Amino acid sequence: MKRALVTGVTGQDGSYLTESLLADGYAVHGLTRDPAGAKASALQGLPGVRPHVDRLTLHAADATDGAAVARLVAEVAPDQIYNLAAQSHIGESFKSPAGTVAANALAVANLLEAARALTDRQEVRFYQASSSELFGSPETAPQNERTPLSPQNPYASAKTCAFHLVRNYRDGYGLFACNGILFNHESPRRPPNYVTRKITLAAARIAAGLQDSVTLGWLGATRDWGFAKEYVEAMRLMLDAETPDDFVIATGVTHTIEDLLAAAFERVGLDWRAHVKTDPAFERPTEVKNLRGDPSKVERVLGWRAETTFEQLVGLMVDADVKRVAAERSAD
Ligand code: NDP
Ligand code: GDR
């Protein structure tokens, strides 16, 4: 049975990736800081996890602890490592720069070293969750694998360090290591402190009469938003490929936050303009303005393409929140 080690297993992407790997017969070893916590039990209860839960083992470790990571990788001896663990919120990275650098860069060095040590015994393939944030606010569009990196916040600076570490290990030691440069991807499993889910949950709650408005930060950004469930398949294709490489994963289409507001509020029959306030408290010291990915390399080389459109994505997120709000109300 093939073994995969997934860090960040309790996160949005970790949950979809775990379901996908379990469905294909993998033994999944998940790294989390809190295997007894609410996020871990939510993961274990997912319809795509519950029937296979005997093949999911959760391990308690902080990825910033090099000794713990080395022990875990040696013990699990995985065929594949997916490094999804991160402090993944951009605004938070300004408030906690050292913690962000530790989780998003130091932890990657720990994992790469552990993977390299394992290659004395067996082959291991390594996936790193890189990000469109590495491009900053680029001067050219769309962004592809050759677009210059220009990180504009502590999150992106740490992820840029990790991106180069992955290349160092690939070039220097021949490690099968890939960077997936993923543009924003969302789902009903996205926490509500990211703008998509904040808006879809607010639309559902406002429609149910539970609140009147939602308060956002800077509305000038445009993003290339895709569906997370599809993006984890691109990660798997990278590790199943013949040669290791870096790939942009995106839809190729960009939208404004106003498009997002319009789509979400229309879904519940409301006009967003009557319900949105702004507060500079939600703004960041620097803002990444416009991002649009060019997914032509991944389509050509790995045959992956985003299928869910922006309108479908917003629709499925709003519908999930409408159901969730109704279930919470009937439980009260
Ligand atoms: P989440 O924030 O949902 O999940 C990340 C997980 O990392 C958390 O659940 C947390 O788990 C774990 N984690 C955080 N710090 C540590 C640490 N020090 N040691 C061990 N585990 C830690 O992120 P997503 O699922 O949205 O994203 C997955 C990865 O992809 C992240 O690296 C993110 O930066 C990157 N990415 C995401 C994009 C997106 O649009 N979603 C786009 C591009 C890149 P726990 O609390 O259980 O330990
Ligand atoms: P992002 O996602 O910063 O792109 O990082 P987020 O949803 O947080 O912000 C998108 C844009 O919306 C603006 N915005 C707000 N954002 C939040 N969170 N809350 C608000 O109230 C709000 N109002 C406006 C933001 O300023 C920004 O311009 C995500 C994360 O998943 C990263 O880990 C990942 O690397 C990138 O996507 C690609």
Cβ atoms of 43 and 10 closer than 8 Å: yes
Nearest CA to ligand 2 atom 5: 90
**What are 276-318's pLDDT values in tens digits?**
999 999 999 999 999 999 999 999 999 999 999 999 999 999 9
Query: Does 332 have pLDDT greater than 80?
Result: no
Query: Does 77 have pLDDT greater than 90?
Result: yes
pLDDT at 331: 86
Cα of 10 from ligand 1 centre, angstroms: 8
| Buried/exposed code over 48-87 (b: 16+ C-beta within 10 A; e: otherwise) | ebeebeebbebbebbbbbeebbbebbeebebbbbbbbbbb
CA distance 214 to 121: 54
Question: Which are the contacts of 174, defined by CB distance < 8 A and separation ≥ 6?
Answer: none
Number of the ligand 1 atom closest to the C-alpha atom of 182: 43
**Torsion sign (Cα): 279, 283, 285, 290:** negative
Strands annotated E in the chain: 3-7, 27-32, 56-60, 80-83, 125-131, 176-182, 185-186, 214-216, 222-223, 226-227, 247-249, 255-256, 276-278
Pocket of ligand 2 (CB under 6 A): 88, 90, 131-133, 183-184, 193-196, 198, 216-218, 221, 223, 257, 282, 284, 287-288
Cα of 8 from ligand 1 centre, angstroms: 5
Question: Which are the contacts of 172, defined by CB distance < 8 A and separation ≥ 6?
Answer: none
Cβ atoms of 30 and 57 closer than 8 Å: yes
Is 0.90 topped by the overall pTM?
A: yes
Residue 322, token pair as written in the block: 């409408």
**What are 160-213's pLDDT values in tens digits?**
999 999 999 999 999 999 999 999 999 999 999 999 999 999 999 999 999 999
Q: Is the ipTM of this complex over 0.90?
A: yes
* Residues with catalytic function: 160
Cα of 82 from ligand 1 centre, angstroms: 11
- φ, ψ for residue 256 (rounded to 5)? -85, 165
**What are 252-270's pLDDT values in tens digits?**
999 999 999 999 999 999 9
Cβ atoms of 83 and 105 closer than 8 Å: no
